[in-house]
Structure 1
Amino acid sequence: MRNIFYLLFCAFLFSCSVAPYKSSKINGVSFVASRDVVDTTHINPVVNVGANYAAIMPFGFIRNLENPTITHNTNRQWYGETRAGAKQYIEELRKANIKIMVKPQLWITHGFFTGFLEMKTETEWEQLENSYSDFILEYAELAEEVNAEIFCIGTELENFIKHRPEYWNELIVEIKNIYNGKLTYAANWDEYKRTPFWDQLDYIGIDAYFPVSDKQTPTVEDCLKGWEKHKPVIQQFSEQLNIPILFTEYGYRSVDFSGKEPWVSDHTMRDVNLEAQVNTTQALFETFWKEDWFVGGFVWKWFHKHDKVGGAENPMFTPQNNPVEKVIQSYYTKYK
């Protein structure tokens, strides 16, 4: 009997050792702030696509690139952009066992790139620092209150970080005194190698708008080849710092040349190309989701009224009601 048990036990160990292993990933959606309260009907599509995480994005607003004042959490903002709205979204997502990254973001009037935010005088820099601390620490408090799994300390703020590194070091300490979960920062795709404080965070966050193909309708193979330029650099950076990579944003528009400059969001690109969106997205999944040093990502972007967005005539980023939604669902289900 003992020998039979031993043989069965060995067979069990052998079967476990040869079984293919699929590591679970952060399969996230960037849940867009809206005017509305959300309910189960808005959360079900998040569940259906296989997501296990959502990024909640309250907003602060700045008048221009030289203005040091951030306006946030006011009754003039959309509900989902405020602290109360963000909390309500999180509570509804929690009911469906969706984990949370709180990712406060800045919006500069007319959509100017936040990476160019830069003050001219020491006084203005100090005003910006005080204002940003008020903004970000309010949402660090929220993240702690709701037990968010991840908190993102900023998004695409390269000039601010470059010119004021000591402030950011001190800010991270302040955040850690408030919030006890995992920390990241969302660096732009061409910024992350210059971000100086990764060793103080848990994930190297990258908004992954890397150019992968100049073709009007790139194939999956075209995009896989395009990633050959970027992937080894990303992997080496992760392994050098011994910190995993998180795509704090990823995604492609459903337009011609979607892999050429994936960060472009202006409305002059109107030629819908659903195949390009599918192929670029599939290549990203095939390149990264199987890697142990890569923990997952948040697709850009996901609207709460699922039946009102996306579709065959929409040239923007959302995957909703586009063929690419099935691609995302297949990988999110595989690596759940």
Structure 2
Amino acid sequence: MSTSAPSKINGVSFVASRDSINSAHVNPIINLQANYVAIMPFGFIRNLEHPRITYNSNRQWFGETEGGVKQYANAFQSQQIRVMIKPQIWVSRGEFTGKIKMNSEEAWQELEETYSNFILDFARVAEETQVELFCLGTELETFVDHRPEFWLELINRIRKVYSGKLTYAANWNEYNRTPFWNQLDYIGIDAYFPVSDMQTPTVDDCKKGWAKYKPVLKLFSENINKPILFTEFGYRSVDYSGKRPWDSDRKMNAVNLEAQLNATQALLETFWGEHWFAGGFLWKWHHKYETSGGKQNFMFTPQNKPVEILVRDWYARY
């Protein structure tokens, strides 16, 4: 692996599968001109008040387990693609992780213990595989709000086992009150900012939408003296893709490839040239390229859609 860091993190969020991966799965990412992938092992919680996280079990898909993460990391690294390991929690029925909240001190302590085990186990995997970047949580705003001391202690514990760079994936509306950016290397943001109310947003309308956030993000980065990294960014190929970009409701199913294309172009034009901006991870990329995405698909993936060519052109420039 080369020692010089890339000028921008041109990443994709790589969805775990039940299978191991090989160069056939890596090559389409190389063709995208990406230089980074996020690998996302999952832990599971029964409900928003439940303190126990189940992970690395034989009931999970291979790519979500420790063995799978190691195999994926090695497959990408062998092709000179750098890796961020980004463990995430899945709440039953897909409830939002930002609302995880215990109803007793005892339950909070149990959650802290099981979350620490989950994160530290994958931090050790990150060290063993020598990946460049580790993300210690994703969209956990209530947990962070209620237990800030826990997070500071967890960061110290991670630093003892992992020697690479650290970030946290704050949701777009929580990053400005996340209390531990000074302890990390990047201000990580899942960049689902609402930027346009149009059915088919134009590039200009989305750029106008970004105009109210961009100066605030720049100032935030400068005040903390850390670069901003979009730990997730992307839009669905649906009508009103810029209105509630986080919304994955499958009832929103009016395919609109132009909406996805324009919203993505506006984001790339707004941020990729900024010195305080480190890059980002496109949401999201599936291992079986040929059968993923396509012109009838209304979900996030850029695969086999016009937006893929746009992203490739931008990634090639940086």
Among all aligned residue pairs of Structure 1 and Structure 2, give the percentage whose two residues are the same amino acid: 64
Displacement of 1:221: 0.7
Secondary structure at the counterpart of residue 212 of structure 2? helix
Query: Could you list the per-position Cα deviations for residues 70-105 of structure 1 after superposition, in whole angstroms to 9, with x for gaps in the alignment?
Result: 000010000000000011011110111000101000
Q: 2:32 aligns with which of 26, 29, 49?
A: 49
Aligned to 2:215: 232
C-alpha separation in 2, matches of 1:170 and 1:219: 45
Secondary structure at the counterpart of residue 290 of structure 2? helix
Q: Is 1:260 equivalent to 2:247 in the alignment?
A: no
C-alpha separation in 1, matches of 2:76 and 2:129: 11
Q: 1:213 aligns with which of 177, 180, 196?
A: 196
Q: Is 1:334 equivalent to 2:305 in the alignment?
A: no
Q: Is 1:192 equivalent to 2:152 in the alignment?
A: no
Q: Is 1:31 equivalent to 2:3 in the alignment?
A: no
Q: 2:119 aligns with which of 120, 126, 136?
A: 136
**Which structure 2 residues correspond to residues 138-177 of structure 1 after superposition, within 5 A?**
138-177=121-160
C-alpha separation in 2, matches of 1:171 and 1:92: 29
Aligned to 1:244: 227
TM-score after normalising by structure 1: 0.93
Higher alpha-carbon Rg: 1
Q: 1:324 aligns with which of 298, 301, 307?
A: 307
TM-score after normalising by structure 2: 0.98
Q: Give 2:309's aligned amino acid.
A: K
Secondary structure at the counterpart of residue 160 of structure 1? helix
Q: Which structure is higher in helix share?
A: 1
Aligned positions, number: 313
Aligned to 1:179: 162
Q: Is 1:305 equivalent to 2:288 in the alignment?
A: yes
Secondary structure at the counterpart of residue 256 of structure 1? coil
Displacement of 1:26: 0.2
Displacement of 1:144: 0.4
C-alpha separation in 1, matches of 2:235 and 2:91: 23
Aligned to 1:294: 277
Query: Could you list the per-position Cα deviations for residues 100-139 of structure 1 after superposition, in whole angstroms to 9, with x for gaps in the alignment?
Result: 1010000000000000000000110000000001100000
Query: Could you list the per-position Cα deviations for residues 190-243 of structure 1 after superposition, in whole angstroms to 9, with x for gaps in the alignment?
Result: 000010000000000000000110000011111111100110110110001111
5+ residue gaps in structure 1? 1-22
Q: 1:103 aligns with which of 70, 86, 93?
A: 86
Moved over 2 A (4+): none
Q: Is 1:279 equivalent to 2:265 in the alignment?
A: no
Secondary structure at the counterpart of residue 283 of structure 1? helix
Q: Give 1:177's aligned amino acid.
A: K
Q: Give 2:277's aligned amino acid.
A: F
Q: Is 1:90 equivalent to 2:73 in the alignment?
A: yes
Q: Give 1:141's aligned amino acid.
A: R
Q: Give 2:252's aligned amino acid.
A: M
C-alpha separation in 1, matches of 2:142 and 2:259: 33
Secondary structure at the counterpart of residue 306 of structure 1? coil
